[in-house]
Amino acid sequence: MRVLVTLVVILALAACSRSEAAQSTPPNPELFAPIASVVTHPRCINCHQDESPRQTDAKIVHQPLVVRGADGHGAPTQRCQTCHQATNTADGFVPGVTTWGLAPLSMLWEGKTNAQICEQMKDPQRNGGRRTGEEVIEHMKGDPLVLWAWNPGSNRTTPPLSHEQFVDALQAWVTAGMPCPTAP
């Protein structure tokens, strides 16, 4: 009986020590850096704008000038789908996805730091209602607008990570508890 009690005490102490060790290792905020390299790339940030989308790697204001509109899909007289069809058209010159439009204003990234974008991506009020990291990953894995960034046509640059590397980086970030960098 004494051996059994000693064994139970040793196992409890070992479990406690491992748990304390895991908690004493702070999450690595650098896990967000590869994610930030994608979401701040022009293929993403050009549509995470306030009033007008941007174009090209130089992020110039959309020409012809278009505006967000009430639903993020353009003004009633000039909807995004007037030019942007279900796929890239005109040999890729006009990019396209069926749901083409600006990201919701709650998901505005232009002018924000990586730390601010990171916090925003974790907040369901500012990330499209995604309550878990897994829901954020699913959005990034399957949303046609997200996937377009890796097939933009017309010699446009793609994000610095492959889509698979991006999803792997998201998974590592979520697994680590979604740590964010500190503001500069």
Q: In this predicted model, what pLDDT tens digit does every residue of 42-85 receive, in sequence order?
A: 999 999 999 999 999 999 999 999 999 999 999 999 999 999 99
The answer to whether 42 touches 59, Cβ cutoff 8 Å, is: yes
What would the mean pLDDT of 19-35 be, rounded to a whole number? 75
Domain range list for the chain: 28-175
Number of H helices, E strands in the chain: 7, 4
**90: Cβ contacts below 8 Å, ≥ 6 apart:** none
pLDDT digits (tens, 9 = 90+) for 101-138: 999 999 999 999 999 999 999 999 999 999 999 999 99
